[in-house]
């Protein structure tokens, strides 16, 4: 394990929160993700099923959680099924969780081997009225292969067609978007590790360095700190920064260019999400500074605008209005352009074409009902930008914000952000 143990109380509390939302007489089943193949006999590293991890803290293949809060037998109210190890598995794959280890991690007392799952599940299905099944219901999810959840759902509904089936994602989205104090602490550790990586790279950047060298500096710091990349890093110099999801990271960094770094760490499966834009030679030009300060003003305004009760769509509209004004002041568009624009294709969109932010947590683009108002406990990224293809550079800035009724908490408040702070940090280059 690359991180310190997470107190089992987090997962005990999470299961209790879910149980309170379930219908009477309900059973819920949550599966681990598949280990996906690559080529020949290769496989990818297991990616944790965020819902299973949120409920148990377990990240091991072939694990299944069954929750039945109203089960007649108290032993059936929380049951975790694990893959049973063997001498062969231990030699080829390494250590697997023992039952005692699983009890310490999860707080679940009833641990069974996965071979027992069909028999136990049948007993519980005969008792249950409703069954909550899980799928990935993120709005931007695209799955071209059949998932473990999909196979399980098809098999269960074929065998038990008369049960009332419910969508577990509807409950988990509502719960996971509101972070507990323990979760915020884990997110803060991911942000702190991100800070260490960013400051290392900012002191390393100089004209002539390649983007891939900077990626290596980041992963060195993240791995040394017990983490890794939260997502594919974006290290984009010059015009590369105008490609929103640029991940080649193989171009030269030239004097006079801006370097966009959208790179963050993961810690204990909780993710940070940072973007900074810095001058390769350590000094902003006058024009670069104008654009940088414009985006920074929007960032500050949007952080202040993250208040409980406001709808994300209204917050996004405020961001777009701020960007529009800054684009006019920068000479990128005119008031005449705005008056003559197609409402479906506003003039500012040439320079800003994405959302202002998204929920953050166990997933970088975390789950939650973004059609509903913000609430205390949400953690949101704030990432305004201005992309100027004709001038060959872009500025994007991003911090992670915990929404609180008494005032928001910037989880990245200690990471240099002001242009003068960036230049001062880079002056300390190795």
At residue 352, does pLDDT exceed 60?
Answer: yes
Which tens digits make up the pLDDT trace of 274-332? 999 999 999 999 999 999 999 999 999 999 999 999 999 999 999 999 999 999 999 99
249 and 139 inside one domain: no
Q: Report the pLDDT value the prediction gives residue 73, as an integer from 0 to 100.
A: 96
Q: Report the pLDDT value the prediction gives residue 144, as an integer from 0 to 100.
A: 85
The answer as to whether 273 is a domain residue is yes
The answer as to whether 168 is a domain residue is yes
Q: Report the pLDDT value the prediction gives residue 227, as an integer from 0 to 100.
A: 97
Pair of tokens at residue 381: 């990224």
401: CATH: 3.90.230.10
Q: Report the pLDDT value the prediction gives residue 430, as an integer from 0 to 100.
A: 57
Pair of tokens at residue 332: 């990128």
16 and 146 inside one domain: yes
Which tens digits make up the pLDDT trace of 364-412? 999 999 999 999 999 999 999 999 999 999 999 999 999 999 899 999 9
227 and 309 inside one domain: yes
56 and 109 inside one domain: yes
User: Which residue, 145, 176, 207, sits at the end of a domain?
Assistant: 176
Which tens digits make up the pLDDT trace of 3-49? 889 999 999 999 999 999 999 999 999 999 999 999 999 999 999 99
101: CATH: 3.40.350.10
354 and 220 inside one domain: yes
The answer as to whether 3 is a domain residue is no
Q: Which residues of 73-94 are buried (b: 16+ CB within 10 A; e: fewer)?
A: eeebbbbbbbbeeeeeeeeeee
- Please state, rounded to an integer, the average pLDDT across all residues of the chain: 97
SS (H, E, C) 354-375: CCCCCECCCCCCCCCCCCCCCC
Is the overall model pTM greater than 0.85, yes or no? yes
13 and 123 inside one domain: yes
77 and 126 inside one domain: yes
194 and 141 inside one domain: no
The answer as to whether 75 is a domain residue is yes
User: Which residue, 148, 176, 204, sits at the end of a domain?
Assistant: 176
Domain extent for 129: 9-176
CA dist list (Å): 327 to 291, 318, 354: 9, 14, 15
317 and 402 inside one domain: yes
The answer as to whether 61 is a domain residue is yes
Q: Report the pLDDT value the prediction gives residue 323, as an integer from 0 to 100.
A: 98
The answer as to whether 123 is a domain residue is yes
Number of compact structural domains in the chain: 2
407 and 330 inside one domain: yes
Parallel/antiparallel/unpaired status of strands 110-113 and 78-82: parallel
Q: Report the pLDDT value the prediction gives residue 393, as an integer from 0 to 100.
A: 98
Q: Report the pLDDT value the prediction gives residue 143, as an integer from 0 to 100.
A: 84
Express as a percent the part of the chain with pLDDT over 90: 97
The answer as to whether 2 is a domain residue is no
139 and 281 inside one domain: no
Which tens digits make up the pLDDT trace of 170-194? 999 999 999 999 999 999 999 999 9
User: Which residue, 117, 142, 176, sits at the end of a domain?
Assistant: 176
171 and 290 inside one domain: no
The answer as to whether 415 is a domain residue is yes
The span from the CA of 64 to the CA of 53, in Å, is 11
What's the mean pLDDT in 83-94? Answer: 95
Which tens digits make up the pLDDT trace of 103-138? 999 999 999 999 999 999 999 999 999 999 999 999
Of 84, 170, 125, whose CA–CA distance to 372 is shortest?
170
Which tens digits make up the pLDDT trace of 238-283? 999 999 999 999 999 999 999 999 999 999 999 999 999 999 999 9
């Amino acid at each position: 394990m690359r991180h310190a143990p997470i107190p089992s109380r987090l997962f005990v509390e999470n299961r209790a929160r879910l149980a309170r939302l379930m219908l009477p007489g309900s059973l819920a089943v949550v599966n681990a993700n598949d280990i996906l193949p690559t080529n020949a006999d290769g496989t990818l590293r297991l990616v944790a099923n965020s819902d299973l991890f949120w409920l148990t803290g377990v990240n091991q293949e072939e694990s299944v959680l069954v929750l039945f809060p109203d089960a007649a037998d108290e032993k059936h109210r929380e049951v975790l099924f694990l893959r049973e190890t063997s001498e062969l598995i231990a030699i080829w794959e390494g250590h697997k969780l023992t039952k005692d280890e699983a009890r310490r991690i999860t707080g679940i007392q009833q641990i069974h081997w996965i071979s027992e799952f069909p028999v136990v599940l049948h007993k519980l299905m005969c008792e249950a009225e409703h069954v909550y099944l899980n799928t990935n219901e993120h709005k931007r999810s695209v799955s071209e292969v059949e998932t473990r959840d999909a196979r399980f759902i098809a098999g269960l509904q074929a065998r038990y067609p008369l049960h009332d089936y419910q969508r577990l994602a509807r409950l988990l989205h509502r719960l996971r978007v509101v972070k507990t104090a323990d979760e915020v602490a884990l997110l803060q550790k991911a942000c702190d590790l991100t800070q260490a990586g960013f400051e290392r790279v900012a002191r390393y950047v100089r004209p002539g360095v390649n983007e891939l060298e900077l990626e290596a500096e980041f992963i060195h710091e993240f791995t040394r700190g017990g983490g890794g990349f939260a997502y594919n890093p974006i290290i984009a110099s010059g015009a590369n920064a105008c490609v929103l999801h640029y991940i080649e990271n193989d171009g030269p960094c030239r004097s006079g260019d801006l370097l966009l770094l959208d790179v963050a760490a993961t810690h204990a499966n909780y993710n940070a999400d940072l973007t900074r834009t810095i001058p390769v030679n350590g000094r902003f030009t006058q024009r670069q500074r104008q654009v940088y300060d414009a985006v920074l003003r929007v960032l500050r305004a949007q952080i202040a605008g993250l208040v409980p009760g406001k709808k994300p769509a209204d917050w996004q509209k405020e961001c777009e209005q701020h960007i529009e004004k800054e684009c006019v002041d920068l000479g990128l568009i005119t008031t005449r352009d705005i008056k003559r624009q197609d409402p479906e294709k506003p003039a500012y969109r040439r320079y800003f074409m994405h959302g202002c932010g998204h929920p953050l947590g166990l997933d970088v683009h975390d789950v939650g009902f973004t059609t509903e108002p913000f609430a205390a406990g949400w953690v949101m990224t704030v990432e305004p930008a201005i992309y100027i293809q004709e001038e060959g550079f872009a500025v994007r800035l991003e911090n992670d914000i915990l929404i609180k009724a008494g005032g928001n908490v910037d989880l990245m408040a200690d990471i240099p952000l002001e242009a003068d702070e960036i230049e001062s940090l880079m002056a300390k280059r190795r």
